[in-house]
Structure 1
Amino acid sequence: MSGRLKPLLLALALLLLAAVLLSPVGQGLWHSLVTGIIQQQRTLHRGLAGAMMALSRREGVGDWLDLMLLSMGYGVFHALGPGHGKAVVATYLLTHRAALTRGLIMTASAALLQGVVAIAMVTILVLGLGWLTREAMAGTAWVEKASFAAVTALGIWLMVRAGQGLRRLRVETAPSPSPANSVSPGALRLTPAPSTGASVVTPLDHVASGPCHCGRTHHIDPMTSGRHWREMTAAIFSIGLRPCSGAVMVLGVAAMLGFWWAGVLAVLAMSVGTALSTSLLAALTVLARVRMAHLFQRADARRPLGLGYFLALLGGALITLLGIALLINTPGTALSPLMQGPLG
């Protein structure tokens, strides 16, 4: 199969998958999948409550092990379900040239932050103010909205940064009114040639989409610049600000039974399980992005100047739309479906 045909087939496959997902059949299957995941999570909620009660009665090593393993398993399963955090992670890593290590750091940090936020909220609302667990769960609606607002702000920020980069790149690559041979001596520098060790004269403002005669790439890819840590921090904050419902429930039961630190350890085990699943998603996303980039590069070795900025702009727009949709469709004080019905 020719190199030019592979990207075309990949694009057609993605369009076909999107059409199936948006069709009535695809939406019905998606609804059934989400309903099944919620039912399984409610079952795991009851199991976690039972394990916490068993620990309060016996406090054996086996009971501690059961609680920790069940909590970690819940974190793994919870992360496999649909959620805005996974959508933000996948979109960011697909449209930004972030290394696999950065993706793993982002997912693990977001999972840990979710657990820390749940611990802090239950400590204040249940232990400090005396709220019931259900009341604390319903009272976290404003935290969810804050998380969705942070997602929207992250998307807008990514769009602004990408737009600034495109504008700056257009200025840098604009044709100079002066002839190429009239460069002033002060604007020249000696650049070592990698093959011979000699030095060649290169204009300081030279911009190119690839290596020139000096063997250097003068155009710096926007996705390899040093601003990654700020974008990653904003993404971690927008994802981790929303606490996990299972963590709130376990901490509420632990507070009721007087085993607070057991609940804290269980939540940390949940965070580890969540980090395992989301890190797998991050790894698959980065590998898929690298593979697609390789296919398109083989199809056309001439990489368009500013492609990284354009992809960042697209990713920011998708994240912004996701945040707006979550803000519009999230009820103000509705109780999570996972907390409806008896827990025991």
Structure 2
Amino acid sequence: MAAAQSSLGIGVAEQAPASDSGLLGGFFAWIATRQREFYDAMRAALTAMRDGGPGAWLLVGLSFLYGILHAAGPGHGKVVISSYMLANETALRRGIALSFSASLVQALSAIVIVGLGFLVLRQLAVSQTDTTRFFEIASYGLVVALGLWLLVRKLRALRPAAPKPAALSSAAVHDHGHHHHNHDRHAHDHHHHDHAPGEVCSTCGHAHMPMPDQLSGPMKLRDAAAVVLSVGLRPCTGALIVLTFAFLNGLWAAGLVSVLAMALGTAITVSALATLAVTAKNVALRMSGSSALSGPVSHAIEIGGALLIIAMGVILLGGALGA
């Protein structure tokens, strides 16, 4: 399969699962048509600026709208972030922060590629398309790795914890907290009481449920970086086109502001879609309530999110390697 280049011959067209069929085929086709119209409008605004006419604010506005529309089409960014939020106890505000961070990194990667193309790569036998392809493959590889890591972590969490030896458990519990009650009665009653979130079980010495502040605590930098890089390393083709056209015509500032506006629009759409994904998960969990299905439903959604990331990454990586 030949690699499809974007207009101006810059970069490669974004890989996405086939969208010309199915329930959303018509919608994605409409999105693609509108994107091409925005390409033409943005280039016209840049041309007007080059010729001395007004067009800066028009370019920024078009770039912002393009970012919103572009993120609604087929692509992997929104799928990765939404699936990550489904596969984790991730607060919605963190998901929104991830969306904006990934969009910013995506804009910066486009700036780096085009900047290198003008400052460095012209002296080497390396094209912008080759550089974009490297970033693309690295991004899709990170998507697969992220999905595998999430899946392994979820499967490990499902394994029952190994019980401590009875002697150690008895010594650890009864010597430090139960000197003033009947041990025989406690031994009988212990098997029938429930533990509140965060309460330590006197038999195994572990908390069976995380405390609320553990679920709402700060996200680990490693987790956030994995998601942001897996999405953001692959630059948006529209950003590459606008930047290259702007740089070729000496409109550096206009190109940079345009790409940042595009990133803002993309972040808004991805955040909205991620919000819908988390809301759907919460509705499913509320419908299951406190029944015996609540645990399996939650685990199924989280494991399904990890599997979706893996599948999307494999499809995109296979398409990029075979191009």
Task: Tell me if 1:72 matches 2:64.
Answer: yes
Contact 1:137 1:245 in 2 (8 A): no
Counterpart in 2 of 1:188?
A: 177
Letter in 1 for 2:138: A
CA separation of 1:293 and 1:271: change in aligned 2, threshold 3 A: same
C-alpha displacement of 1:101 = 0.6
SS in 1 for 2:234: coil
C-alpha displacement of 1:178 = 6.3
CA distance in 1, matches of 2:194, 2:67: 44
SS in 2 for 1:330: helix
Task: Show structure 2 runs of 5+ residues with no match.
Answer: 1-19, 180-185
Counterpart in 2 of 1:270?
A: 262
1:211 aligned residue (192, 196, 213): 196
Counterpart in 2 of 1:136?
A: 128
CA distance in 2, matches of 1:259, 1:209: 66
Q: After the TM superposition, which of the residue ranges 247-256 and 26-35 deviates more from structure 2?
A: 26-35
Q: What does 1:136-285 align with in structure 2 at a 5 Å threshold?
A: 136-137=128-129, 139-167=131-159, 170-172=160-162, 174=163, 177=166, 184-188=173-177, 210-211=195-196, 218-221=207-210, 224=215, 228-229=219-220, 230-285=222-277
Letter in 1 for 2:141: A
C-alpha displacement of 1:57 = 1.7
C-alpha displacement of 1:309 = 5.7
1:55 aligned residue (5, 28, 49): 49
CA distance in 1, matches of 2:261, 2:312: 29
Letter in 1 for 2:66: Y
SS in 2 for 1:243: coil
Counterpart in 1 of 2:282?
A: 290
C-alpha displacement of 1:98 = 0.9
After superposition, give the CA deviation of every residue in 1:150-202 in whole Å (9 maximum; x if it has no partner): 000101111222233233xx125x48656998875335379xxxxxxxxxx99
Q: TM-score, normalised by structure 1?
A: 0.71
Count of residue correspondences: 286
Task: Tell me if 1:33 matches 2:27.
Answer: yes
SS in 1 for 2:142: helix
CA separation of 1:177 and 1:35: change in aligned 2, threshold 3 A: same
SS in 2 for 1:58: coil
CA separation of 1:238 and 1:130: change in aligned 2, threshold 3 A: same
1:42 aligned residue (36, 41, 66): 36
RMSD over equivalenced CA pairs, Å: 3.7
CA separation of 1:234 and 1:215: change in aligned 2, threshold 3 A: closer
Q: TM-score, normalised by structure 2?
A: 0.76
CA distance in 2, matches of 1:277, 1:74: 11
After superposition, give the CA deviation of every residue in 1:281-332 in whole Å (9 maximum; x if it has no partner): 122222222221111115x16754x875665443222211221121112355
Report % sequence identity: 33
CA distance in 1, matches of 2:178, 2:255: 63
After superposition, give the CA deviation of every residue in 1:96-136 in whole Å (9 maximum; x if it has no partner): 221111011011111111000000110001343239xxx52
Counterpart in 2 of 1:325?
A: 315
CA separation of 1:42 and 1:181: change in aligned 2, threshold 3 A: same
Task: Tell me if 1:111 matches 2:96.
Answer: no
Contact 1:52 1:254 in 2 (8 A): yes
